[in-house]
Amino acid sequence: MDTLLHALQPLFAPAFTLWGAPVTRLEIVAFVLALAMVGFNIRVNPLGWPLAIVSSLLYFFLFWDSRLYAEASLQVFFAVVALWGWWQWLRGTGADGAALRVRFLGTRGRLGCLLALALAWPALGLFLKHFTDSDVPWWDAFPTAGSLVGQWLLGRKYVENWPAWIVVNIVSVGLFAYKGLWLTVMLYVVFVVLSVVGWRAWRRQAAMA
C-alpha cells in the first residue's frame, strides 16, 4: 500500500488551500465525480454507477492517507457493490419477476436494516480500535456501517436509501471536518441537501407507480 501511495504522490499535490488545509488534485477529481454520481442517482439513471466506481477508488486513497481506514475500506466495498448495483438497475428484477422500480421498503425490511446497522457499527468499531491505529474508531465505524445499509437499499431501488444517506452524510461532515478534509466536508454538506432532494423525488415516483 505504501508503494502505491508513493506512486500516486503527484495526485496528492495541493491544488489550493481551504480554511488552512491543503486540497489535493485527487480530492478535487473525486469531488466532481461524486456530485455527478448523485445527480444521476436522483434521476434513476444507471450511469451513476460507473462514476461511483471511479470516485470510490479515488476516495479510497484519500481516506487511507488520512488514516480513516474504515472509510477507505468502505470505498473498495462501494466500488465492488457499484458493479452489482449497475447490474441491478439494468437487469435486476423484483419478487414479481418484473424489472426493478422505485418502491418503498416494508416495516419488516426497515427493522432488518436497523438491526444490521446495530450489529455492524460495534463490530467495525471494535475492529478499528484493536487492529488499526485509527484515532476515531467509533466515529469512523458508524457512517461506514450506515453506508453498507444505504448502498444495498440504493441498489434495490428502495426509497429508504435516501434517509439512510442523510444520516450517514451528516455524521460524515463532522468526521471529515475533524480530519481537515474541507473540500470533502463541502461535498458531504451538498450530499445532505441532494439526499433530501432525492428522497422527495423518489417518494413521488414510488407513489405514482
Which tens digits make up the pLDDT trace of 175-196? 989 988 888 898 899 999 999 9
| The pLDDT value given to residue 15 | 66
| The pLDDT value given to residue 122 | 96
| The pLDDT value given to residue 22 | 76
110-114, 138-142, 146-150, range with greatest mean pLDDT: 110-114
Other CB atoms within 10 Å distance of the CB of residue 120: 18
Rg (CA), the chain: 17
Name the helix (H) or strand (E) containing 16: strand 14-18
Of the candidates 126, 146, 145, the one whose C-alpha atom is nearest the C-alpha of residue 137 is 126
Stretch 3-28: mean pLDDT, rounded?
Answer: 71
- For residue range 36-86, what is the model confidence (pLDDT) as tens digits? 999 999 999 999 999 999 999 998 988 887 788 877 887 898 899 899 999
Phi, psi (degrees; rounded to nearest 5) at 103 = -150, 170
d(CA 13, CA 3): 17
Is residue 153 over pLDDT 90? yes
| The pLDDT value given to residue 47 | 95
**Residue 193, C-beta contacts closer than 8 angstroms, at least 6 positions apart:** none
Location of C-alpha cell 418502491:
103
Stretch 161-166: mean pLDDT, rounded?
Answer: 98
- For residue range 95-131, what is the model confidence (pLDDT) as tens digits? 888 889 999 999 999 999 999 999 999 999 999 888 8
Whole-structure pTM value = 0.84
Cβ proximity of 143 and 172 under 8 Å: yes
**E strands in 143-208:** none
Stretch 135-155: mean pLDDT, rounded?
Answer: 92
| The pLDDT value given to residue 24 | 82
Q: Tell me the three cell numbers of residue 203.
A: 417518494
Cβ proximity of 82 and 52 under 8 Å: yes
Assign 89 a pLDDT band (cuts: 50, 70, 90). very high
Is residue 28 over pLDDT 80? yes
Q: What is the dihedral of CA 81, 168, 54, 79, to 10 degrees?
A: -20
Angle between helices 69-91 and 48-65 (to 10 degrees): 170
Location of C-alpha cell 450506515:
146
- Cα 106-168-70 angle, rounded to 5 deg: 115
